[in-house]
Amino acid sequence: MKTAVQTAYGAPSVVVIRDTPKPVPNDNEVLVKVMATTVTSGDSRMRAFRIPAAFWLPARLFMGINRPRKAVLGAEFAGTVEAVGKSVTRFKSGDRAFGLNVYGCHAEYKVLPEDAGIATMPDSLGFDEAAAIPFGALTAQFFLRLANITPGQHVLVNGASGAVGAFAVQLARHYGAHVTGVCSSDNAVLVRDLGAETVIDYRTTDFARSGQLYDVIIDTVGNVTLGCFRRATPATGILLAVDGGGTAFVRALWTKFVGTRKVLATVSADRQADLETVRDLVAAGTLRPTIDSRVAFADIVQAHARADSRRKRGAVVVRVAEPLAIAAA
């Protein structure tokens, strides 16, 4: 099968297409013919090894000293179940499925346990749209649940047009919050359409000096300082540090013992039940994916470059199968 292999740490050009063995599912595994995948900010970060200094050495030991130990990136996929192990009961050959499973999705086939982050797709979605859902939606859902959002609260989403931010806007609105989105003016219409009542252009306005207080700030960019957090929240404010780097964990520990405002920083999970919840919200029209761009599998280096730009609107989709094959499916 064709696979996008990361040959070293570095620029997008370190990713090349190679032939690798097609996987065979074990008894409890599902083999998916991947029709579409994505290049996420996480893929970009791991490929370039943009790791906070405090975690550089342990991350290098875990991921590989001289080159990546796991050379196939990709966390999101959508495709068709081609085969299942003999003990699999949740899925059958021919099912359209999508999911989130870190590493290995940048390939023509993906194998994973049936109880991992995989679910059947909504009938209304194509493969491109389905592949653009899991990472952003599950991450946003995970962090917003930590804050226990209640109706009437004021929530600010920093980086509201990104893959996580776009779903955070929709979910916070679904939970009954008043949502403010921070993004560029170019993306203001999109963010309003997703459900934000107010949109702030970060290039012209400092949200922390606007006078408005927010019960919860979800930071998908990683540039909300403790000073901004204090100025923009009441004493019970919560900062959800989705992309806060290594310092976010230090801040979270500090606020655990000092003051009443809390920084919450952790690693999100990819549970199957949560993916099924997201799927049902998409099927009901409550959530919808946002796609920045689409590229062919042969041009996956372009998708990495787009993710590196930090200017993408939603997901960068990579069509692993030919467009005609996707349309026929």
Q: Which domains does the chain have, with CATH numbers?
A: 2-133+289-328 (3.90.180.10), 136-264 (3.40.50.720)
- As a whole number of angstroms, the distance between CA 223 and CA 204 comes to 16
Q: Is this prediction's pTM over 0.75?
A: yes
Q: What is the per-residue pLDDT for 148?
A: 93
Which residue from 208, 60, 76 is spatially nearest to 129, judged by alpha carbons?
76
Span 97-109, average pLDDT:
96
DSSP three-state, residue 77: strand
62-97 pLDDT per residue, tens: 999 999 999 999 999 999 999 999 999 999 999 999
The fraction of the chain above a pLDDT of 90, given in percent, is 80
Tell me which residue of 16, 18, 243, 39 sits closest to 131, measured CA to CA: 39
Sheet strands side by side (includes 154-158) = 198-201, 178-183, 154-158, 216-219, 238-241, 262-264
Across the strands, what pairs with 318?
37, 295
According to DSSP, the β-strands at 291-296 and 315-319 are parallel
pLDDT tens-digit series, residues 244-270: 666 776 777 777 777 788 988 877 777
